[in-house]
A = this chain, B = another copy of it.
Amino acid sequence: MSLVDLSKHIALGVDIGGTNTKFGLVNHRGQILEKGSIKTDNYVEVQDFIEAFYERVQPLLEKYSQEKYIDGIGVGAPNGNYYRGTIENPPNLKWKGVVPFSEMITQRFGISCKLTNDANAAALGEMMFGAARGMRDFIMITLGTGIGSGIVCNGQLVYGYDGFAGELGHTIVKPGGRKHYSTGSEGSLEAYASATGISVTAKKFRAEFPESMLNEYPEEQINAKTVHQCALKGDPIAIEVFRYTGQKLGEALANFVMFSSPEAILLFGGVIQAGDFLLKPTRFHMERNLLPIFRGRVKLVFSELDEANAAILGASALVWENKS
């Protein structure tokens, strides 16, 4: 054990989302000492955002600086680039172009800042505080409106040559398949297994099967949640929506396993509320597509982190990450 008193060290974790930016002061145990949020979309100019953020957070930092060391600021952001500390052409933020966010934060606060994309931050959070504690090789998949992913090999996040590794949602699971609503690619995992993809599948299936309970909802209410409700009531078409989704997801996961041979794949995000309706077919189709040497060896589990805090914890973990 080190003689350094880790309990005195804290980090500021920041999760930048299209609507809200959440932040928290986190200690080495993953306890959030303080947290708060400001509206991201109130600020068309990133400079104004930084200023408002500083005014909101600086008093907190001063309060804790009496008795704690603030080791740094970690930021998870859409299209965040670890190497450059930039947020690059984020589709769901008002800030355009390449924003040197990390540098701006460091200059304003006088504290070093590390930045990565939100999915990578989530993976770090799992490694430091969640279901991946002690693991050196795992893959984290976030199934939300889109699909994000963070890949850890040899105990390190895989950033790749240019810092954009881990775009697993955009891998093609069915060549020539369903067109992605924004990228235009055909047959990507995100087009099937994101919440958005699930609602596309559900709308298609309910049109084919008029007897499905899914037809009791108006079009705009067909989403992963309502499909789950119908599945719970025993609607076979709703159950089939998750089975189909799980097949596509499981086939993709098998390919990921044969790439990096992880100890575990962690699933995270709103879609996992579907529980076994999704998990069972996913596992079946993953195993089915694996080489025998991989079968039965890879844990497929849900995240242990509370979704409301995970992004903050993950961003703070970035401050303490070992990067060779």
Contacts and interface: CB of A to CB of B under 8 A. Distances in A.
Main SS class of interface, A: loop
Interface string A92-124: 000000000000000000000000000000000
Contacts of A33: none
A154 B162 contact: no
Contacts of A297: 161-162
A256 interface: yes
Contacts of A168: 258-259
Interface stretch (A48-56, A169-177, A270-278): A169-177
Interface in A226-259: 251, 254-256, 258-259
B261 A175 contact: no
Interface string A285-313: 00001011110010000000000000000
Given A151-B260, A154-B324, A289-B185, A254 B161 contact: no
Contact of A160 (B161, B175, B185, B261): B261
A71 interface: no
Integer count of this chain's copies in the complex: 2
A62 interface: no
A221 to B, nearest CB: 31
Given A137-B161, A175-B174, A151 B183 contact: no
Given A160-B153, A162-B297, A255 B291 contact: no
Given A136-B161, A153-B153, A156-B154, A291 B259 contact: no
Interface string A150-189: 0101111011111111111011111100000001010000
Contact of A171 (B156, B160, B175, B255): B255
Contacts of A174: 175
A291 B260 contact: no
B137 A167 contact: no
A85 interface: no
A39 to B, nearest CB: 28
10 contacts: A136-B161, A137-B161, A154-B154, A158-B260, A161-B262, A165-B259, A167-B291, A170-B258, A171-B255, A171-B259
Given A137-B165, A183-B292, 5 more contacts: A153-B165, A161-B262, A162-B261, A174-B175, A260-B260
